[in-house]
């Protein structure tokens, strides 16, 4: 596969992928009642301020109104219903740390495609979307704005991302929070691996005053790798090397550490509450998102 760092927008977001986004538009669209939904009061209830009730998710509902706490508890997707709809800006925080550009295929490919898919849905619903890539710090690549015509600009901006340095969630999230942006939905696309550990990641995420959706880029081998024998580990971000013997105790210690990492992220999502989508980077991104929107359930 070509190096993701050299792909153009047309290669990364090929016609087949862009065509598949149309299905997501059908599944995730909100019913317009004339003008912008954010400016309407709806008898069907929406995602405003005054809470009213819950109801099961149905194809076409606004994915941002999903109650992730109920989903984790019951395994079904329900919506929080409010009396009045409101404009909810979407802030895409896309991890571009160097480690995501490694492997074959690199995880960044699935991350960028997920980011564009959610951008496409949001822009088609007249919402404003902003792009904030981060690694050792966060930058403003595209300020929040709306309009379907901006989708290709987002595609080009996402394709232009190059590997950053080491991952630093604490610094990046602090920078984002200091912008004092209007309350919205912060979508964090990352593998959530940080040299400072899961504790630092969770501490940083707790500082977000927005609604939060974590899109976690993972592989099945993350939890239970089987390297075998003696080898040298190389940290692709820092360059640090470590000689390792994959003995049973070492592998067991890794698996326990990884389980704690997952538990800390899940615990944060439950208590915030925040959404957490597990995106298998070896599988098609759109079909995984479509499963959520179409059936109201998400299976990894």
Confirm if 90 and 127 have CB atoms less than 8 A apart.
yes
Q: Report pLDDT digits (tens) over 207-223.
A: 999 989 999 999 999 99
Confirm if 183 and 209 have CB atoms less than 8 A apart.
yes
- What is the reported pLDDT for 288? 87
> By mean pLDDT, which of 11-20, 72-81, 147-156, 279-288 is the weakest?
72-81
Cis peptide before 273 (omega within 30 of 0): yes
> Is residue 275's pLDDT more than 70?
yes
The token pair at 81 is: 């219903």
Compute the distance between CA of residue 86 and CA of residue 272 in angstroms, rounded to an integer.
21
Mean pLDDT across 190-209? 95
Kindly report the number of other CB atoms within 10 A of residue 110's CB atom: 24
The CATH fold assigned to 4-295 is Rossmann fold (3.40.50)
Domain ranges of the chain: 4-295
Q: Report pLDDT digits (tens) over 159-183.
A: 999 999 899 999 999 999 999 899 8
- What is the reported pLDDT for 99? 92
The token pair at 102 is: 């490694």
> By mean pLDDT, which of 41-50, 61-70, 164-173 is the weakest?
41-50
Compute the distance between CA of residue 281 and CA of residue 300 in angstroms, rounded to an integer.
11
- What is the reported pLDDT for 4? 57
Compute the distance between CA of residue 96 and CA of residue 161 in angstroms, rounded to an integer.
7
Of 34, 24, 20, the closest CA to residue 121 belongs to 24
- What is the reported pLDDT for 81? 63
Helix (H), strand (E), coil (C) string for the chain: CCCHHHCCHHHHCCHHHHHHHHHHHHHHCCCCCCCCHHHCEEEEEEEEEEEEEEEECCCCCCHHHECHHHHHHHCCCEEEEEEECCCCCEEEEEECCHHHHCCCCCHHHHHHHHHHHHHHHHHHCCCCEEECCECCCECCCEEEECCHHHHHHHHHHHHCCCCCCCCCHHHHHHHHHCCCCCCCEEEEEECCCCCCCHHHHHHHHHCCCCEEEEEEEECHHHCCCCCCCEEEEECCCCCCEEEEECCHHHHHHHHHHHHHHHHHHHHHHHHCCCEEEEEECCCCHHHHHHHHHHHCCCCC
Query: Who wins on pLDDT, 299 or 205?
Result: 205
> By mean pLDDT, which of 54-58, 101-105, 197-201, 275-279 is the weakest?
54-58
Q: Report pLDDT digits (tens) over 74-133.
A: 777 777 665 444 567 999 999 999 999 988 889 999 999 999 999 998 888 888 999 999
Query: Who wins on pLDDT, 147 or 193?
Result: 193
- What is the reported pLDDT for 34? 32
């Amino acid at each position: 596969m070509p190096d993701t760092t050299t792909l153009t927008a047309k290669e990364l977001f090929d016609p087949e992928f862009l065509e598949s986004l149309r299905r997501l538009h059908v599944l995730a669209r909100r019913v317009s009642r004339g003008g912008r939904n954010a400016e309407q009061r709806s008898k069907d209830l929406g995602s405003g301020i005054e809470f009213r009730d819950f109801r099961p998710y149905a194809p076409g509902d606004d994915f941002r109104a999903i109650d992730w706490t109920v989903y984790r508890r019951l395994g079904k997707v329900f919506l929080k219903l409010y009396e009045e709809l409101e404009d909810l800006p979407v802030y895409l925080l896309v991890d571009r740390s160097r480690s995501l550009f490694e492997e074959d295929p690199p995880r960044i490919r699935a991350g960028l495609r997920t980011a564009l898919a959610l951008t496409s849905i949001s822009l088609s619903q007249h919402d404003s979307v902003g792009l904030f890539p981060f690694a050792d710090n966060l930058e403003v690549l595209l300020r929040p704005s709306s309009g379907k015509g901006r989708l290709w600009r987002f595609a080009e901006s996402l394709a232009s991302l190059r590997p950053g340095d080491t991952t630093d969630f604490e610094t990046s999230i602090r920078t984002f929070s200091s912008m004092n942006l209007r309350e919205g939905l912060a979508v964090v696309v990352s593998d959530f691996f940080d040299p400072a550990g899961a504790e630092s990641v969770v501490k940083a995420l707790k500082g977000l005053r927005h609604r939060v959706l974590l899109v976690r880029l993972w592989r099945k081998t993350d939890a239970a790798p089987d390297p075998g024998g003696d080898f040298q580990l190389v940290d692709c971000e820092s360059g640090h090397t470590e000689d390792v013997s994959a003995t049973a105790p070492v592998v067991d210690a890794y698996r326990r550490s990884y389980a704690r990492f997952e538990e800390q992220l899940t615990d944060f999502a439950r208590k915030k509450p925040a959404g957490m989508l597990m995106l298998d980077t070896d599988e098609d991104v759109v079909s995984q998102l479509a499963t959520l929107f179409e059936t109201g359930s998400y299976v990894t």
